[in-house]
């Protein structure tokens, strides 16, 4: 067998290692951001139907969702501001993402507002 340039097994293993590391980081970060987007989407949905739903019901629903998504307890503390024709929902929480050499705390502020 002739040894061709660029065809070493070390290069292939290195590329697989880089790919595995990228997937690991993407999965860990992706999971945290996915939960944030799900929570914010639920807030937007509650804003759309706010004329028929009380503030307490909105808070309970979002607290239950935050719990089921595995968000930190402070995410369930949703601030509801309602006027005669509008509503605003806001929350604030942090999540810690840990990698082998790096630990990062990310702050999320999901919010939604609209009129009815």
Q: How far apart are CA 114 and CA 116, in angstroms?
A: 7
Whether 70 is in a domain gets the answer: yes
Does residue 85 form part of some domain? yes
Structural domain count of the chain: 1
Return the percentage of the chain with pLDDT > 70, whole number.
92
Tokens of 54: 């009380």
Whether the per-residue pLDDT at 61 is higher than 60: the answer is: yes
Residues 85 and 115 sit within 8 Å (Cβ to Cβ):
yes
The model scores a pTM over 0.85: no
Q: 24: pLDDT confidence band, cut at 50, 70 and 90? A: confident
Please indicate, yes or no, if residue 76 is contained in any of the structural domains. Answer: yes
Domain interval for residue 75: 9-115
Beta bridge partners, 106, equal 95
Would you say residue 2 lies in a domain? no
pLDDT for the residue numbered 5: 60
Instruction: Decide if 1 is inside a domain.
Output: no
- 26 domain residue, yes or no: yes
Assess if residue 3 is contained within a domain: no
């Amino acid at each position: 067998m002739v040894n061709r340039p660029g065809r070493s097994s070390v290069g292939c293993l290195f590329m697989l290692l880089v790919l595995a590391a990228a997937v690991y980081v993407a999965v860990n970060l992706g999971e945290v951001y996915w939960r944030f987007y799900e929570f914010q989407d639920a807030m937007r949905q509650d804003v759309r139907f706010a004329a028929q739903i009380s503030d307490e019901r909105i808070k309970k629903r979002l607290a239950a969702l935050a719990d089921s998504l595995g968000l930190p307890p402070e995410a369930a503390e949703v601030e509801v501001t309602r006027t005669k024709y509008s509503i605003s929902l806001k929350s604030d929480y942090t999540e810690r993402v840990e990698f082998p050499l790096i630990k990062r705390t990310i702050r999320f502020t999901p919010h939604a507002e609209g009129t009815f």
